[in-house]
Amino acid sequence: MTKKSNQEAIIEFNPKLPRLSASESKVLKLLVEAAKLIAPIYLEQEKQSESGINRKEIEEAGKKDPAFLSQYTVIEKVNGKLVATAYHVKYAKLLAPIAEKLEKAASITDNREFGNALRIQAKALLTGSYNEAIIAWLKNKPYILDISIGPVDHFDDQLFFRKASYQAWVGIVNATDTEKLNNYKAITLSARRKTEVPQKRVDNRDKVKAKVIDVLIFSGFMARTKFVGVNLPMDVNIVEKYGSEITLFNQPNDLRLKEQILPSFSNIFSQSFREGFSQEDLRKGNLGYIAIHELAHSYLYYRNASKNLKDLFICIYELAATVLGLRMAGPLLLEDVITSKRLESMIVAFICRSFYLIKKAKTDKPMVNRVLGSAIFINFMLENGALKQRDGMVIANFMKIFIALQELSFILEQLLSSGTRKDTETFIKKYGYLNESFERYIL
């Protein structure tokens, strides 16, 4: 089903495609070619991240020249001195053929708006006008072909010191799944929620777009992280003005099911528990919890959170989205949009993912924030008796999990809305450890 190459940072998928017009097929081919060319740039970034320049040096240099702190600069040491070079200058040679492919696709497509966005994207790659491209894509009407290409800040990179990573995906919008996701969206985002300090939060709920795509290729950062869903952009100011867009990825979900969820499932749960969930339950449960995670992000744009929590922000932010998301599944259940079996499958999938990440903690550096989030979730559930350990197996009490989620989500949102880095550190110290006995018995 998939062709992978770790060295190349490319994953190709082979989804069943709907009927496309001749020009759409040509455009699609060019987009995939363009996406492939992103991988070498990402690999360059990986190499540079090992240069040994530390956070302190960069912060010091940033006081004199803000270019050092930009998400879109490469920082190198030349003759013992730090130098910041803009991405589009540093990678100009590698970017030129990518922009060419996008331009060519733009000249072929019958969809003028899509062609226009491709041109703006091509220009952004060559000149650094990234926000222009982000806004153009956010303004576009839904279209069957989908591409994201260029440097993206996922806030997730301690590795690159908050530098944007080059990434690309290309896919076809899946109409049936997109309709279902938008149904989730309509219900979860219309529910009126009291937040503690509304003035501290950016509300973009009326500007959220959502789609599910069948993926042809993941390149660069996406091939490394194998995300099943994203909600972009991350910049609160752009989100406030232009909205955000959720994208879920079908084939990477299948991949995660096979590589992470199923192995973890058979490791940590007893035979009799496992008989209650089919592979299809878990596939849908995994995509389902990621869908509501991405939707929950729309409630979590606290204006100063990233500034206040600093390096600990992303861990809390990501866990808060899952925990709040699972709570937001409540209205879906009440309105019979999902069954209780589906809600349980979502929770089981997240438990499996959490144990998988904790087990991989030693090798999976870029995912460190999510590992910490997983540990917090598991330890919090254990403390509340919502998860128990017996004979090396995990016993899940869904009713208790659902109740404990309320409390955990309250704590996490407090941290995001008005916590300090110190509060967050104290909380992480209490719950973010990797439980020894779990290592021994389960992992």
Chain contacts with Zn ion (rule: CB under 5 A): 318, 321
For Zn ion, which is the closer residue by CB, 187 or 320? 320
For Zn ion, which is the closer residue by CB, 172 or 181? 181
For Zn ion, which is the closer residue by CB, 99 or 328? 328
Residue 293 beta carbon to Zn ion: minimum distance, rounded to whole angstroms: 6
CA 243 – CA 207 distance, rounded (Å): 4
For Zn ion, which is the closer residue by CB, 174 or 298? 298
Residue 211 beta carbon to Zn ion: minimum distance, rounded to whole angstroms: 16
Residue with tokens 């809305």: 417
- Phi (first) and psi of residue 85, to 5 degrees: -120, 135
For Zn ion, which is the closer residue by CB, 41 or 321? 321
Q: What angle do the packed helices 313-334 and 398-418 form, to 10 degrees?
A: 130
Residue 316 beta carbon to Zn ion: minimum distance, rounded to whole angstroms: 11
**Which residues on adjacent β-strands are paired with residue 229?**
248
Residue 324 beta carbon to Zn ion: minimum distance, rounded to whole angstroms: 11
Residue 300 beta carbon to Zn ion: minimum distance, rounded to whole angstroms: 9
Residue 339 beta carbon to Zn ion: minimum distance, rounded to whole angstroms: 25
For Zn ion, which is the closer residue by CB, 324 or 352? 324
Neighbouring CB atoms inside 10 A of 383's CB total 12
For Zn ion, which is the closer residue by CB, 109 or 260? 260
For Zn ion, which is the closer residue by CB, 31 or 261? 261
Residue 154 beta carbon to Zn ion: minimum distance, rounded to whole angstroms: 9
For Zn ion, which is the closer residue by CB, 227 or 380? 227
Asked if residue 393 lies in contact with residue 268, where contact means CB atoms within 8 angstroms, the answer is yes
Residue 336 beta carbon to Zn ion: minimum distance, rounded to whole angstroms: 27
Residue 186 beta carbon to Zn ion: minimum distance, rounded to whole angstroms: 20
**Which residues on adjacent β-strands are paired with residue 73?**
86
For Zn ion, which is the closer residue by CB, 37 or 321? 321
Residue 317 beta carbon to Zn ion: minimum distance, rounded to whole angstroms: 7
- Phi (first) and psi of residue 305, to 5 degrees: -60, -45
Q: What angle do the packed helices 279-297 and 175-190 form, to 10 degrees?
A: 50
